[in-house]
Amino acid sequence: MPSYDYDLFVIGGGSGGVRSARVAASLGKKVAIAEEYRYGGTCVIRGCVPKKLFVYASQFHEHFEDAAGFGWTVGESAFDWKKLIAAKDNEIARLEGLYKKGLAGANAEILETRAELVDAHTIKLLRTGETVTAKTIVIATGGRPNPHAALPGHELCISSNEAFHLEELPKSILIAGGGYIAVEFANIFHGLGVETTLIYRGTEILSRFDEDLRRGLHEAMVAKGIRILCQDVMEKVTRGENGLVIETMKGETLNAGIVMLALGRDPNTRGLGLEKAGVAVNERGAVIVDDYSRTNVENIYALGDVTDRVQLTPVAIHEAMCFIETEYKNNPTKPDYDLIPTAVFSQPEIGTVGLSEEEAGKRYQELEVYRAQFRPLKATLSGRAEKMMMKLIVDAASRKVVGAHILGHDAGEMAQILGITLKAGCTKDDFDRTMALHPTAAEELVTMYAPSYRVRDGQRL
């Protein structure tokens, strides 16, 4: 038996990497983990967590407006971007500390260096130039924003990475893309008082979501004052006298203080030495893995965004836990990707689990669609025009709820709980016999007794 310096070496200190290193170490394995930037990865350092803090910050102006309807007179308010950034940075530093503490507590060795593969068992630590060996290697290097190198002037644009560290807020911003990041940041910047335009190549934002929610969110964002240009793309970005000048395919010339690209994220595999270790990647540069997150090289696994399966933090963590079961508990376990609840932290928020009406229409012969649109109670006094929307997609034959979609306040919180019901295989009858909790918005989910319409062979009846 060859002997190695470590039982496990993990490259990448994000959600998936840290979880695999910590749990393997807690099982008594000799583990090292290397991170070239900051522990916590995209989610903690420049993704989900700081983004959600920004979302909260951007909602206060509406809270202040709403307060008037409830008898409050709110004094003059002002927003200080630098204070928000400092508070956010403090919290992120605290979380990073917790991640390291967890690793250290489990006796994993924490390395602050870039690490690259030399062969299937050997890793080079770039900070010292030293090489170490490991029996098993996990690649969990995540992803990076697509730089859209084909766009003339792309080097003048920022990505979400920089959005978390802007020196000051611009007066105006143009955001390219129609996915999670573009939509969330458009709402954040608008809420903080920045004149915001979104430019998206498709016919409607958020291409992978239920059509009703996409349209509903689009309308709500426009009503707030966000400009959305669909079926258009940027052709060129140049520096003008007053900021950046953007020419679009449809012939518009736009001006913006900042242009932010949110056009998807690419797997972080460049220069990692994968070819030296013989690890295969696909045409997007993502590490190819089997159902157990194992690469084509027996002792090397890959998890999280670097594999380009489902780019979500809880998925990377789940993949890490499956890797632990497979490799260290003699219990080969495949990650389960069915019915992943997800939220877009837009304003209003989207929370969803299961199939959209369009997807379900392709899979099931007949659907019952239950759909409610209503003004939430709080809006009756605040006067806010925003409506909530809830939709249940039911397979008519089995009565199983196969999709649940919410647009409105706390939609993400509700989608998490709905995820349990769909995972448990609940039918519409289970929803019907559940007592409503009054007065809540969520009670609508158990009080939609008659289908709003049916879909047969993909066609609305």
In terms of CB distance, is 103 or 350 closer to ligand NDP? 350
Interface with ligand NDP includes 215 (CB under 6 A)?
no
The question of whether 438 is a catalytic residue gets the answer yes
Of residues 148, 190, 318, 438, which has the active-site annotation?
438
What span, in angstroms and rounded, lies between the C-alpha atoms of 423 and 197?
38
Span near ligand NDP by CB under 6 A; candidates 92-100, 181-189, 220-228, 382-390: 181-189
What span, in angstroms and rounded, lies between the C-alpha atoms of 394 and 428?
7
Only one residue has tokens 């903690």, namely 44
Tell the smallest beta-carbon distance from residue 203 to ligand NDP (Å). Answer: 9
Interface with ligand NDP includes 348 (CB under 6 A)?
no
Interface with ligand NDP includes 428 (CB under 6 A)?
no
Map the footprint of ligand NDP across residues 134-153, applying CB under 6 A.
148
Span near ligand NDP by CB under 6 A; candidates 88-96, 106-114, 179-187, 385-393: 179-187
Buried b (16+ CB within 10 A) or exposed e, 316-348: bbbbbbbbbebbbeeeebebeeebbbbbbbbbb
What span, in angstroms and rounded, lies between the C-alpha atoms of 54 and 448?
34
Count the neighbouring beta carbons within 10 Å of the beta carbon of residue 225: 9
Interface with ligand NDP includes 262 (CB under 6 A)?
yes
Interface with ligand NDP includes 178 (CB under 6 A)?
yes
Tell the smallest beta-carbon distance from residue 344 to ligand NDP (Å). Answer: 6
Interface with ligand NDP includes 344 (CB under 6 A)?
yes
CA angle at residue 44 from 148 to 340, to 5 degrees?
80
What span, in angstroms and rounded, lies between the C-alpha atoms of 92 and 50?
7
Tell the smallest beta-carbon distance from residue 194 to ligand NDP (Å). Answer: 18
What span, in angstroms and rounded, lies between the C-alpha atoms of 113 and 135?
20
State how far the alpha carbon of 333 is from the alpha carbons of 25, 214, 319, in Å.
19, 35, 9
Interface with ligand NDP includes 53 (CB under 6 A)?
no
In terms of CB distance, is 132 or 182 closer to ligand NDP? 182
Interface with ligand NDP includes 182 (CB under 6 A)?
yes
Q: Which of 121, 154, 190, 265 binds ligand NDP (CB under 6 A)?
A: 265
Interface with ligand NDP includes 335 (CB under 6 A)?
no
Interface with ligand NDP includes 233 (CB under 6 A)?
yes
Interface with ligand NDP includes 202 (CB under 6 A)?
yes
Q: Which of 201, 236, 387, 399 binds ligand NDP (CB under 6 A)?
A: 201
- Backbone dihedral angles phi then psi of residue 267, each to the nearest 5 degrees: -65, 140
Span near ligand NDP by CB under 6 A; candidates 11-19, 131-139, 199-207, 280-288: 199-207
Interface with ligand NDP includes 172 (CB under 6 A)?
no
Q: Which of 179, 335, 348, 354 binds ligand NDP (CB under 6 A)?
A: 179
In terms of CB distance, is 90 or 207 closer to ligand NDP? 207
Handedness of CA 143, 16, 106, 6 (dihedral sign): negative
Number of residues that bind ligand NDP (CB under 6 A): 23
Interface with ligand NDP includes 24 (CB under 6 A)?
no
What span, in angstroms and rounded, lies between the C-alpha atoms of 115 and 140?
11
In the complex, residue closest to ligand NDP by CB: 179
- Backbone dihedral angles phi then psi of residue 410, each to the nearest 5 degrees: 65, 25
Interface with ligand NDP includes 345 (CB under 6 A)?
yes
DSSP-derived 3-state class of residue 109: strand
Residues 267-306, mask of contacts with ligand NDP (x by CB under 6 A): ----------------------------------------
What span, in angstroms and rounded, lies between the C-alpha atoms of 440 and 437?
6
Map the footprint of ligand NDP across residues 33-52, applying CB under 6 A.
none
Tell the smallest beta-carbon distance from residue 457 to ligand NDP (Å). Answer: 26
Give 197: exposed, middle or buried? Use CB within 10 Å, 0-12, 13-18, 19+. Answer: buried
In terms of CB distance, is 16 or 177 closer to ligand NDP? 177
- Per-residue tokens: 372: 């409610």
Interface with ligand NDP includes 230 (CB under 6 A)?
no
HEC secondary structure over 219-251: HHHHHHCCEEEECCCEEEEEEECCEEEEEECCC
Instruction: Estimate to the nearest angstrom the gap between the alpha carbon of 199 and the chain centroid.
Output: 19
Interface with ligand NDP includes 415 (CB under 6 A)?
no
Give 77: exposed, middle or buried? Use CB within 10 Å, 0-12, 13-18, 19+. Answer: exposed
What span, in angstroms and rounded, lies between the C-alpha atoms of 358 and 167?
43
Active site residues: 438
Binding region for ligand NDP (CB under 6 A): 148, 177-182, 184, 200-202, 207, 233, 262-265, 311-312, 342-345
